[in-house]
Structure 1
């Protein structure tokens, strides 16, 4: 049996991460673990990213025997190739939608969980004394239109009410004074939540903590199918069969349609692409007038997201590719570079030797999911972070571990409710194409 996915084999190969900047400090060899053949374990975690490793740590620290497998190596998927934003924003559901579906208290419950997710990562880094190149206090959201800036002015008041902390408006004439100068933006709003980090350094710390807690980690062990028809779930892998008392799925946008029947059609992987420049001198940074180390992004569907690293490299990413191949990767890289130069014209001469891409994960409910699969009480899953999974993927991984251990974590109703299936089945990418096309047309 081969995995059935929405993108071609190229997407799931090593090609899209051949020039990943994060691998300079933490190469694949630092995250390589032996394959696993036939095996029995109490708990099996499928997927070695932020979700899977946090789940493994949670289970192992609870005294449960846990084995983790990854198709390639821990961090091969989105966790090892994202933009390094540990922030809020893992859902796309409006307050009105959350209230209509789950009651008046749901937006506040979701906000508390978003804040708890950032705090979870922060507490782990402090407890483990990890150096992950942390920088940025909160994040800056840049307005790409005057109308969006008007919305920010309204949002600033709502932020204090909803979060209990103030947001700071930055009007267009003041952008340069905040080190946020650029020709494309009409102002900004600064939120006090989250921070930037080196995702693979965080991954390496998670893997080390999981092993110290007693978890067994294995790579090169693709899970092909979960058979939970008997008293114990069996996971058929490319190397053999693993029998477990409980199975935790932590594959997010890298899941296959035939891993478990329930998963089919409940997520859409969406491509995100990133470049990174060489280190820039203080003079080069000053020439552009963008010197802030704050995480920054544009509040729109076809967004750009970026931040300066402590050594002065710009990490610059965008969403929007719908096809994946070697040829299309070259086109996307060229478009990303052109967008980078439009945003920062004084840096047109600055080389960007690093470029890579990966998959984020979208659900039809517009919220993440964490829970047991309906009809399969011994199989659990957590996925659907909508491009902001550093914090929420970590947090829901830990909560999924608690669930599998028999505990009852405090999750919002919307996150504990199984997402509906997208229409169109294997052709559901057409929905994303329509949304992207309309967003480009309307510049939103």
Structure 2
């Protein structure tokens, strides 16, 4: 069996380390999904028990009558799906609209926005009353200009959303943002995207696992895939420590927690980057009024190294940002101080709202800065979805549904946008792509100051 090739040190992938997130503290006692015990044969095997994997499993079982088998190295939701900020909105690509139009054309951009709308609607449906209780909050998200230069670009950004997405996004001054219930130092206005909402990502991941299992999927935690091979007859062999799985079809849904050799085709085609999140103690009403923060809509700023933040149902503040190029105890402590500094600079009236939770996780990028949903190399009946660029709550869930349709040979009525089917190029010098992140962060930081 192969040794898994990962680009971060083992600390980032150690499933015995507690994440320590706020979301974990809100979850009731989670069911323990047992490890695989012995060899199994299945129609569809899914590696990865997060949004992509469980959405694929749920839709395969519910819409196509399949009984997929899902495995994960940890318990379901341990990775990015259980530790993100819970922003369900537009996203999935880091490439800007104008670049997408230049490379792929206006029709593909419109198709991508249609997919994003479908993705948000899918999660909204899955979290509707009687389905998954995930503490869904107010509709809409704010994009906030971090500089006067960024503020001047807001009308053009809003016009692009109207033209390509068919969505009206009112542009707001800093004073109007205060009236909306979101004030912070350094905000120079913003716009409101009326789609999207906040949720509890841990409860959403747990709910997807429950629905998939109830629909007929088999779920095994603590079952790392150690190798995967295509056989001459077209089946797939997945070796784990506790049994061998033989599958007619395969979906790899490990996203930012992937390995460069599981399978070999993935090598260098994805880049996990570290995102950090802090959550404060509950704010008092006086603190909220002093800061001018009363809205529960999700929000982010226009920096390349963006900040993202929201007021949670129990009046805690969640605040997140990018930063480090590794995950170690030392870098975690470094970022704990840095994220606190940025939070207090942006929201000075909340300087006494202590941090009660801090954690980190991996966000997955591709070289082309667009997500991929499609075939794994030249393997005939194997597919993957990854590279959601921080927009995975909606897009990963939607990608799972798309993968279910492809695996069942019954594609969704809304087709996969063409550019999402372009196989990702490998990063230059793939073995050292993580080591290039500090330079990239420095360049982005300088750009954010301009």
- 47-56 or 344-353: bigger deviation: 344-353
| Counterpart residue number, 1:307 | 310
2:388 equivalent in structure 1: 385
Q: Distance in 2 between matches of 1:355 and 1:40?
A: 41
Map residues 264-279 of structure 1 onto 2, 5 A cutoff.
264-279=267-282
Q: 2:16 & 2:275 partners in 1: Cα distance?
A: 15
Alignment of 1:18-417 (within 5 A): 18-26=19-27, 30-36=30-36, 37-61=38-62, 62-126=64-128, 128-231=130-233, 232-409=235-412, 410-417=415-422
Q: Quick check: 2:15–2:73 contact (8 Å CA) kept in 1?
A: no
Residues of 2 paired with 1:170 and 1:277: CA distance?
27
Q: 1:16·1:356 contact (CA, 8 Å) conserved in 2?
A: no
CA distance in 2, matches of 1:351, 1:248: 42
- Does the CA contact (< 8 Å) of 1:52 and 1:397 recur in 2? yes
For 1:281 and 1:161, locate their aligned partners in 2 and report how far apart those are by CA, in whole Å: 41
Deviating runs (4+, > 4 A) in structure 1? 14-17
1:431 shift after superposition: 3.6
- 123-132 vs 290-299, greater mean Cα deviation: 123-132
Residues 14 and 329 of structure 1, relative CA distance in 2, 3 Å threshold? farther
Stretches of structure 1 lacking an aligned partner (at least 5 in a row): none
Aligned equivalents of 2:18 and 2:350: distance in 1?
24
| Cα displacement (A) at 1:235 | 0.7
Q: 1:31 to 1:258 in 2, by over 3 A?
A: farther
Match of 2:438 among 433, 436, 439: 433
Q: Deviations over 1:75-129 (max 9, x none)?
A: 0100000001001111122334323433331111111111111011111222743
How many Å separate the matches in 1 of 2:161 and 2:34? 47
CA distance in 1 between counterparts of 2:34 and 2:189 reads: 50
CA–CA separation in structure 1 for the residues paired with 2:292 and 2:98: 39
Supply the distance in 2 between the matched residues of 1:22 and 1:245 (Cα, whole angstroms).
36
1:15 and 1:217, CA in 2 relative to 1: closer, same or farther beyond 3 A? closer
**2:10 alignment counterpart:** 9
For residues 99 and 180 of structure 2, what CA distance do their matches in structure 1 show?
35
**Alpha-carbon separation, structure 1, partners of 2:157 and 2:292:** 26
Seen in structure 2, the aligned counterparts of structure 1 residues 199 and 313 have a Cα distance that, compared at 3 Å, is same
3-state SS, counterpart of residue 270 of structure 1: strand
Aligned residues: 443
SS in 2 for 1:332: helix
SS of the aligned residue for 1:386 comes to: coil
Alpha carbons 2:55, 2:401 under 8 Å: kept: yes
Tell me the secondary structure at the aligned position of residue 355 of structure 1. Answer: strand
* TM-score normalised by L of structure 2: 0.95
- Work out the CA distance in 1 between the residues paired with 2:69 and 2:256: 21
d(CA) in 2 for partners of 1:51 and 1:299?
A: 27
Conserved? CA contact 1:17–1:356, under 8 Å: no
Task: Measure, in 2, the Cα distance between the counterparts of 1:249 and 1:156.
Answer: 36
Q: Give the SS at the match of 1:119.
A: helix
Distance in 2, matches of 1:275 and 1:139, equals 19
- Over residues 61-85 of structure 1, what are the superposed CA-to-partner deviations in whole Å (9 max), with x where a residue is unaligned? 2111211001001101000000010
Please point out which of 415, 418, 426 is paired with 2:423: 418
Q: Deviations over 1:30-71 (max 9, x none)?
A: 052000132111111100000000000111121112110010
Q: Supply the distance in 2 between the matched residues of 1:35 and 1:70 (Cα, whole angstroms).
A: 9
Moved more, 57-66 or 392-401: 57-66
- Please give the alpha-carbon distance, in whole angstroms, between the structure 2 residues aligned to 1:102 and 1:230: 36
- What are the Cα deviations for residues 383-404 of structure 1, in whole angstroms up to 9, with x where unaligned? 0000110000000011101101
Instruction: Write out per-residue CA displacement over residues 346-392 of structure 1, whole angstroms, 9 at most, x where no aligned residue.
Output: 11111111111000100012111111213101211010000110000
Q: CA deviation at 1:303?
A: 0.8
CA distance in 1, matches of 2:315, 2:256: 31
Cα deviation, residue 407, structure 1: 1.6
Q: Does the CA-based 8 Å contact 1:31-1:74 persist in structure 2?
A: no
